[in-house]
């Protein structure tokens, strides 16, 4: 089974879908001949040409506005915003137009639009280029929000997003672009909104996504040597949110920890905690716990950045604290 990088999975998904559907167009800042600022989409311009792959001005509002117009008039656009941090520049277009257009037209129009953006810290990009956007976007009905953690999920969920007749935001973690993983030659589009139990366990449920998933798995491997068995769930998408998979796991382990690369206030972990409080509180043997960035900004300094973003040590401490609860 071939191994490819997370970065290559993005390129492969876009190219495979563009070969199948001539209505797909792709545009954004420096995505054509340059292949993207993170070199995620090399070769797309050369294969599909200037009619279907275009560079845009440095204007997130123009990119999303153009993408919406293209989507409702018969095309299936993929729009890249270079950094997820700049999504707020186009927030009116995304949450008041893109997310609501099908509803406000009474179903007369569909919006088959995929918005891609690179997010996340760990690379020393500073506080304006290192944020995670999934918790911002999950608050707006009409948007699907995907955050893959592996090359296979990146490939299959991006293909699913491109095929969806509703707008989907696909968030790619910059720190994971070099991560390698197996992607079968016959891998098919995935299903948006399904979490995945990536490690079975009976002692405690850990829910995470993207970089935090890998750090949680690191802790799970370490603690397994002590006989502590964590069940680790890759959330994969925050909208729709797969409550059922999390609830089933909590019913088995009776303890819940969320690991989020985001500030504490308004994080997706708060939504999960609320859901479990509503539907699963009598299955809990300990309080729900969250590991996140508290209310800190992400520092440019590597030492401070490492301190702010949840690491294996913080996750392990939270696990041990929860297991010590009666």
Mean pLDDT, range 156-168, rounded to an integer: 98
**Is residue 53, in this structure, part of any structural domain at all?**
yes
Choose, from 129, 173, 214, 283, the residue flagged as catalytic: 129
Contacts of 289 (CB under 8 A, 6+ apart): 256, 257, 258, 318, 321, 322
Per-residue tokens: 114: 């995929």
Residues 162, 211, single domain; the answer is no
What CATH number should be reported for the domain holding residue 59? 3.40.50.970
pLDDT confidence band for 18 (50 / 70 / 90):
very high
Measured CA to CA, the distance from residue 15 to residue 122 in angstroms comes to 28
pLDDT confidence band for 2 (50 / 70 / 90):
confident
Mean pLDDT across the chain: 96
The stretches of 53-184 forming alpha helices (DSSP H) are 60-72, 91, 101-104, 134-137, 151-163
pLDDT confidence band for 165 (50 / 70 / 90):
very high
Residues spanned by the domain of 205: 196-323
Q: How far is CA 121 from the centre of its chain?
A: 13
Q: Look up 283 and say whether it is catalytic.
A: no
Last residue of a domain, which of 182, 214, 243?
Answer: 182
Please count the residues of the chain. Answer: 326
Residues 306, 216, single domain; the answer is yes
Q: Which of 124-128, 200-204, 212-216, 245-249 has the lowest mean pLDDT?
A: 124-128
Measured CA to CA, the distance from residue 135 to residue 129 in angstroms comes to 16
% pLDDT > 70, the chain:
99
Last residue of a domain, which of 148, 182, 216?
Answer: 182
Residues 275, 207, single domain; the answer is yes
Beta 196-199 vs 230-234: how paired, if at all? antiparallel
**Is residue 191, in this structure, part of any structural domain at all?**
no
Contact call for residues 241 and 271 (beta carbons, < 8 A) = yes
- Report whether the peptide linkage leading into residue 240 is cis, meaning its omega lies within 30 degrees of zero: yes
Contact call for residues 5 and 151 (beta carbons, < 8 A) = yes
**Is residue 188, in this structure, part of any structural domain at all?**
no
pLDDT at 183: 96
Is the pLDDT at 154 greater than 80, yes or no?
Answer: yes
Residues 141, 214, single domain; the answer is no
pLDDT confidence band for 133 (50 / 70 / 90):
very high
Helix or strand or coil: residue 110? coil
Residues 162, 205, single domain; the answer is no
pLDDT confidence band for 263 (50 / 70 / 90):
very high
Per-residue tokens: 123: 């690379």
Residues 118, 232, single domain; the answer is no
Residues 228, 304, single domain; the answer is yes
**Is residue 200, in this structure, part of any structural domain at all?**
yes
Cα–Cα nearest to 137, from 97, 95, 83, 172: 95
pLDDT at 293: 95
Residues 264, 121, single domain; the answer is no
Residues 75, 163, single domain; the answer is yes
pLDDT at 325: 85
Is the pLDDT at 281 greater than 80, yes or no?
Answer: yes
Mean pLDDT, range 288-305, rounded to an integer: 94
Residues 258, 318, single domain; the answer is yes
Q: Tokens 């994971």, residue?
A: 176
Residues 178, 291, single domain; the answer is no
Beta 76-83 vs 24-28: how paired, if at all? parallel
% pLDDT > 90, the chain:
97
**Is residue 261, in this structure, part of any structural domain at all?**
yes
Is the pLDDT at 87 greater than 80, yes or no?
Answer: yes
**Is residue 189, in this structure, part of any structural domain at all?**
no
Per-residue tokens: 46: 């050369």
Per-residue tokens: 155: 């490939």
**Is residue 175, in this structure, part of any structural domain at all?**
yes
pLDDT at 237: 98
Contact call for residues 152 and 182 (beta carbons, < 8 A) = yes
Residues 61, 137, single domain; the answer is yes
Last residue of a domain, which of 133, 155, 182?
Answer: 182
**Is residue 14, in this structure, part of any structural domain at all?**
yes
What CATH number should be reported for the domain holding residue 250? 3.40.50.920
Is the pLDDT at 62 greater than 90, yes or no?
Answer: yes
What total number of domains does the chain contain?
Answer: 2
């Amino acid at each position: 089974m071939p191994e490819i990088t997370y970065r290559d999975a993005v390129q492969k998904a876009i190219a495979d879908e563009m070969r199948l559907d001539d209505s797909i167009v792709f545009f954004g800042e420096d995505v054509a001949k340059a292949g993207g600022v993170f070199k995620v989409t090399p070769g797309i311009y050369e294969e599909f040409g200037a009619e279907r792959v275009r560079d845009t001005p440095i204007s997130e509002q123009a990119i999303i506005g153009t993408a919406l117009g293209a989507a409702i008039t018969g095309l299936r656009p993929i729009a890249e915003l270079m950094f997820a941090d700049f999504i707020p520049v186009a927030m009116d277009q995304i949450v008041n137009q893109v997310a609501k257009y099908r509803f406000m037209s009474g179903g007369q129009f569909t919006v088959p639009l995929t918005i891609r953006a690179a997010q996340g810290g760990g690379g020393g990009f500073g506080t304006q280029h290192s944020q995670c956007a999934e918790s911002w976007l999950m608050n707006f009905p009409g948007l699907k929000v995907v955050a893959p953690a592996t090359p296979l999920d990146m490939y299959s969920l991006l293909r699913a997003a491109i095929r969806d007749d509703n707008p989907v935001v696909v968030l790619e973690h910059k720190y994971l672009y070099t991560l390698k993983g197996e992607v079968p030659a016959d891998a098919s589009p995935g299903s948006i909104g399904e979490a995945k139990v990536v490690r079975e366990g009976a002692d405690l449920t850990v829910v995470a996504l993207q970089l935090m998933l890998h750090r949680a798995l690191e802790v799970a491997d370490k603690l397994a040597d002590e006989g502590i068995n964590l069940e680790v769930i890759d959330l994969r998408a925050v909208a729709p949110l797969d409550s059922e998979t999390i609830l089933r796991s909590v019913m088995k382990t009776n303890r819940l920890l969320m690991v989020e690369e985001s500030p504490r206030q308004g994080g997706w972990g708060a939504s999960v905690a609320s859901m479990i409080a509503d539907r699963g509180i009598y299955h809990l043997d300990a309080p729900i716990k969250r590991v996140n960035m508290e209310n800190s900004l992400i520092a440019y300094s590597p030492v401070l950045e490492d301190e702010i973003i949840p690491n294996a040590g913080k996750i392990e401490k939270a696990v041990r604290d929860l297991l010590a609860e009666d």
